[in-house]
């Protein structure tokens, strides 16, 4: 019995010390972004039945101590905290960010305090690269097309999100200009519409359309003469001039016009004046003049940001934006099987299974939950609960220490009796 007391005390000391270390580590990481607390689960060691003759489920028995059965990750989400950085991300549900360490090993974390480094690569604060899908719309330092949303690729195609330090949004020449509004009806009035247009050489020019009431007028309806011209931005060069006519019915709706296209320094621009009451009208109603032209001037990269649901967005000096990538979100069949490498980093194991992507009904890879920008997930440690556990564990540790000292005294007395 004294030997069993020694075993009970020793195993209790060892198990409680492990639990104290785990709980203390939880408390130490109370302010660590993305930290997930752990709890220790105990099991009883082998028990011997006292009544060996009549053993039943209700027989008294005595064990020889306890052991740490496992250390379990607490999977509740930590508190969400707002920040001022678009690169601060929080997973509002299940899932893990994937990162590459210096040895090219893939690790997983809930800590989303990411940054764009001096080379515009998306990394952790320690310089590890973030994994995701690139949009495939960058060649060298040129954006080949504007992308509204980057779809996640297959899990095997995920790569580090590294982007060029310099990036140019190429110019797009104007192909169409649209005009609407009401013409002034007073005799001798001239109506001037002006729209900015872009030519093939990235120059910002002007498309001017002037409406002059035709003389004489033929009733019913109304007729207008049109003079359209394209002019360089400095006003010194006229690239093209077109003369045309527009016919309106007695209510002011446009019946037809002969102005269709005009040249803009070698680029053709289609002109849309509308039909009926959609577009240019000629009556006493007052409708604002509205001009709209497509085409985009070239722009240089201002910087990269993270949009909603982990979209990597490039912003340019011409005011344009485009998605260039998307951060991936990895899932596991058994998150408890992940191996903790540091306070916030984990690696997959045979017990956790390989990382996987969730799929929608069509079989496309999806995040599976929302990723919030300007937000960080705090530690999920509950301080009051952890302190209470620490006090209980310390008392249990002291009790097991007392068991040892008592067993030692009993052993010493037994030895003295033999002497």
Cβ-proximal residues to 289 (8 Å cutoff; 6+ apart), any chain: 179, 180, 181, 193
pLDDT, position 68: 67
Mean pLDDT per 10-residue segment, the chain (419 residues): 59 74 87 91 56 45 62 90 95 96 93 92 93 96 95 94 94 96 76 93 95 89 94 95 96 95 96 95 86 95 92 95 96 95 95 95 93 95 83 72 65 65
Examine residue 81 and state whether it is found in any structural domain, yes or no. no
Q: Which of 258, 293, 328 is the last residue of a domain?
A: 293
d(CA 11, CA 338): 27
Residues 233 and 328 in one domain: no
**C-alpha to C-alpha distances, 401 to 8, 229, 405, 413, nearest whole angstrom:** 10, 97, 6, 19
For residues 313 and 419, what is the distance between their CA atoms, to the nearest angstrom? Answer: 85
Residue span of the structural domain in which 257 resides: 176-293
134: which strand partners?
325
Distance CA(209)–CA(227), nearest Å, equals 6
Same domain, 280 and 209: yes
The SS3 call for residue 10 is helix
User: 274 has which bridge partners?
Assistant: 279
Number of structural domains the chain divides into: 3
Looking at the domain assignment, is residue 92 inside a domain? yes
- 155 DSSP assignment: G
In terms of Cα–Cα distance, which of 233, 208, 228, 213 is closest to 289? 208
Q: Please indicate, yes or no, whether residues 283 and 202 belong to a single structural domain of this protein.
A: yes
333-345 per-position pLDDT tens digit: 999 999 999 999 9
pLDDT tens digit sequence for 81-110:
999 999 999 999 999 999 998 889 999 999
Residue 237 falls within a domain, yes or no? Answer: yes
280 and 213 within one domain? yes
What is each CA distance from 355 to 110, 151, 272, 281, 342, in whole angstroms? 14, 18, 54, 62, 19
- Does one domain contain both 220 and 242? yes
- The DSSP 8-state label assigned to residue 342 in this structure reads S
Question: Which SS3 state, helix, strand or coil, does residue 124 take?
Answer: coil
User: What is the pLDDT at residue 61?
Assistant: 45
Checking 407-410 for CB contacts under 8 A at 24+ apart, the result is 407/2, 407/5, 407/6, 407/9, 410/2, 410/5
Together in a domain, 278 and 203: yes
Same domain, 71 and 22: yes
Residue 186 is assigned to a structural domain of this protein:
yes
Q: In whole angstroms, how far apart are CA 123 and each of 100, 141, 187?
A: 9, 20, 68
User: Per the domain annotation, does 317 fall within a domain?
Assistant: yes
Q: Is the peptide bond before 216 cis (omega within 30 degrees of 0)?
A: yes
Give the separation between CA 275 and CA 180, rounded to whole angstroms.
10
What is the Rg, in whole angstroms, of the alpha carbon atoms belonging to the chain?
A: 37
Q: Does residue 145 fall inside a structural domain? A: yes
Same domain, 282 and 186: yes
Q: How far is CA 167 from the centre of its chain?
A: 21
Question: Within a domain: residue 167?
Answer: no
98 and 12: one domain?
Answer: no
Where residue 188 sits, what CATH number does that domain have?
Answer: 2.60.98
On whether both 273 and 310 belong to a single domain, the answer is no
Whole-angstrom distance, CA of residue 99 vs CA of residue 345 = 9
Same domain? For 12 and 102 the reply is no
Predicted confidence at residue 161, as pLDDT, reads: 94
Identify whether residues 348 and 286 lie together within a single domain: no
pLDDT at site 52: 45
Asked if residue 300 belongs to a domain, the reply is: no
């Amino acid at each position: 019995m004294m030997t069993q007391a020694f075993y009970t005390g020793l195993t209790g000391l060892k198990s409680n010390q492990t639990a104290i270390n785990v709980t203390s580590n939880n408390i130490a990481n109370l302010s660590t972004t993305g930290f997930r607390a752990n709890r220790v689960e105990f099991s009883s060691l082998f028990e011997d039945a006292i009544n060996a003759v009549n053993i039943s489920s209700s027989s008294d028995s005595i064990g020889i101590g306890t052991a740490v059965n496992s250390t379990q990750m607490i999977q509740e989400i930590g508190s969400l905290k707002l920040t001022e950085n678009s690169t601060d991300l929080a997973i509002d549900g299940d899932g893990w960010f994937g990162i590459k360490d210096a040895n090219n090993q893939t690790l997983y974390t809930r800590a989303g305090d990411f940054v764009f480094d001096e080379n515009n690569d998306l990394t952790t604060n320690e310089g590890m690269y973030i994994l995701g899908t690139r949009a495939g719309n960058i060649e060298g330092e040129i954006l080949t097309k504007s992308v509204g949303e980057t779809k996640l690729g297959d899990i095997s195609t995920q790569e580090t999100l590294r982007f060029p330090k310099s990036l140019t949004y190429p110019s797009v020449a104007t192909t169409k200009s649209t005009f609407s509004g009401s013409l002034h009806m007073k005799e001798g009035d001239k109506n001037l519409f002006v729209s900015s247009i872009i030519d093939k050489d990235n120059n910002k020019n002007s498309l001017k359309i002037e409406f002059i009431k035709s003389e004489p007028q033929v009733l019913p309806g109304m007729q207008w003469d049109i003079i359209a011209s394209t002019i360089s931005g400095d006003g010194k060069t006229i690239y093209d001039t077109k003369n045309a006519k527009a016919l309106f019915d007695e209510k002011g709706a446009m019946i037809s016009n002969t102005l269709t296209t005009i040249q803009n320094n070698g680029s053709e621009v289609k002109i849309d004046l509308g039909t009926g009451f959609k577009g240019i009208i000629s009556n006493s109603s007052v409708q604002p003049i509205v001009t709209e032209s497509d085409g985009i001037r070239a722009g240089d990269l201002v910087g990269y940001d993270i949009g909603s649901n982990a979209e990597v967005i490039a912003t340019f000096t011409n005011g344009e934006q485009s998605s260039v990538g998307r951060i991936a979100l990895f899932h596991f069949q058994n998150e408890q099987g992940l191996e903790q490498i540091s306070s916030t980093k984990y690696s997959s194991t045979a017990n956790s299974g390989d990382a996987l992507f969730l799929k929608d009904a069509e079989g496309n890879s999806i995040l599976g939950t929302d990723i919030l920008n300007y937000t960080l997930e705090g530690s999920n440690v509950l301080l009051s609960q952890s302190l209470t556990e620490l006090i209980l564990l310390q008392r249990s540790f002291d009790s097991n220490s007392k068991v040892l000292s008592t067993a030692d005294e009993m052993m010493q007395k037994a030895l003295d009796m033999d002497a």
